[in-house]
């Protein structure tokens, strides 16, 4: 058997959800209906539903039915991931648009955060990250030119700044803050938000051995993105 039947059913259901044929909280076919549609036994159809439920994609209620759970992009608080990897690991297509890559005099706040002097030159990049053609995150990043002198010559349409930086200057430390903000007009435009909506803004400052490397403002619409974390207090359950 090339690919398991229950996996084919899962695939089909995931597709239906992704293309929007099955919206959030809508009912999905019952075990018996799926069994008939795919010419499998109920137990096999059940397995597909079961595993999707365990993945948090569906929720089920005995005696009622199975439904599509609220679907949002999610990244982990506990690991620092490349946004591109994150999107691709969900099976979606990733793309990015470079809006700016320049050198500019350092605003006071940035200078302080990166340990530079006021008005000293600093690298600045502005990138929109897309998940399936929909803007997921606006990345505004200031980079310490003393530590990464070649930053401004990179081609960030093929490598994310985060990935590049972690290759060039191994991170030793990172500092995060998470805020909820209402984006300004400029941000709304680039995130293709018709009306301002609540956004998550992750501020990330990274350090290498020699000090602060970069300060990034990562802004994502609250309706498209959330952060997730899983903490274990007992050494007996999953990562």
Confirm if 199 and 180 have CB atoms less than 8 A apart.
yes
- Beta carbons within 8 Å of 45's beta carbon, 6+ residues apart: 6, 9, 31, 32, 34, 35, 38
Structure tokens, 90:
């969900």
The nearer residue to a second copy, 101 or 161, going by C-beta atoms, is 161
78 binds DNA (CB under 7 A): no
Sequence length of the chain is 239
Tokens of 194: 């018709």
First to last CA, the chain: 31
Q: Of 82, 120, 166, 203, which one interacts with DNA (CB under 7 A)? A: 120
153 binds, among DNA, a second copy, none (CB under 5 to 8 A by kind): none
> Could you tell me how many residues of this chain bind a second copy (CB under 8 A)?
62
Interaction between residue 30 and DNA (CB under 7 A): yes
Closest CA to 143 of 220, 207, 226: 207
Candidate list 37, 119, 157, 189; residue touching DNA; CB under 7 A: 119
Q: Min. distance of Cβ 41 from a second copy in angstroms?
A: 13
Number of residues in contact with DNA under rule CB under 7 A: 30
Q: Is 144 in the site for DNA (CB under 7 A)?
A: no
Q: Classify strands 73-76 and 121-131 as parallel, antiparallel or unpaired.
A: unpaired
Which residue shows structure tokens 């007992």? 234
Does residue 184 bind DNA (CB under 7 A)?
no
Q: Smallest distance from the beta carbon of 52 to DNA, in angstroms?
A: 11
Binding site for a second copy (CB under 8 A): 14, 17-18, 54-57, 59-64, 67, 71-74, 76-78, 80, 108-109, 111-112, 117-118, 170-182, 197-200, 209, 221-222, 226-239
């Amino acid at each position: 058997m090339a690919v398991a039947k229950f996996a084919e059913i899962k695939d089909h259901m995931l597709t239906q959800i992704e293309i929007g044929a099955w919206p959030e909280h809508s009912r999905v076919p019952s075990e018996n209906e799926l069994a008939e549609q795919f010419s499998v036994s109920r137990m096999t159809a059940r397995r597909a539903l079961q595993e999707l439920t365990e993945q948090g994609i569906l929720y089920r209620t005995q005696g009622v039915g199975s439904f599509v759970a609220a679907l949002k992009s999610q990244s982990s608080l506990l690991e620092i991931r490349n946004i591109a990897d994150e999107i691709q690991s969900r099976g979606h297509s990733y793309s990015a648009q470079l809006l700016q890559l320049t050198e500019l005099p350092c605003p006071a706040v940035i200078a302080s955060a990166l340990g530079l002097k006021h008005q000293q030159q600093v690298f600045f990049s502005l990138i929109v990250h897309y998940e399936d053609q929909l803007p997921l995150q606006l990345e505004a990043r200031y980079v310490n030119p003393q530590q990464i002198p070649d930053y401004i010559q990179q081609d960030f349409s093929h490598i994310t700044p985060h990935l590049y930086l972690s290759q060039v200057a191994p991170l030793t430390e990172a500092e995060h803050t998470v805020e909820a903000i209402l984006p300004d007009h400029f941000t709304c435009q680039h995130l293709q938000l018709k009306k301002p909506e609540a956004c998550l803004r992750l501020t990330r400052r990274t350090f290498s051995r020699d000090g602060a490397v970069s300060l990034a403002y990562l802004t994502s619409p609250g309706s498209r993105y959330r952060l997730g974390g899983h903490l274990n207090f007992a050494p007996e359950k999953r990562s």
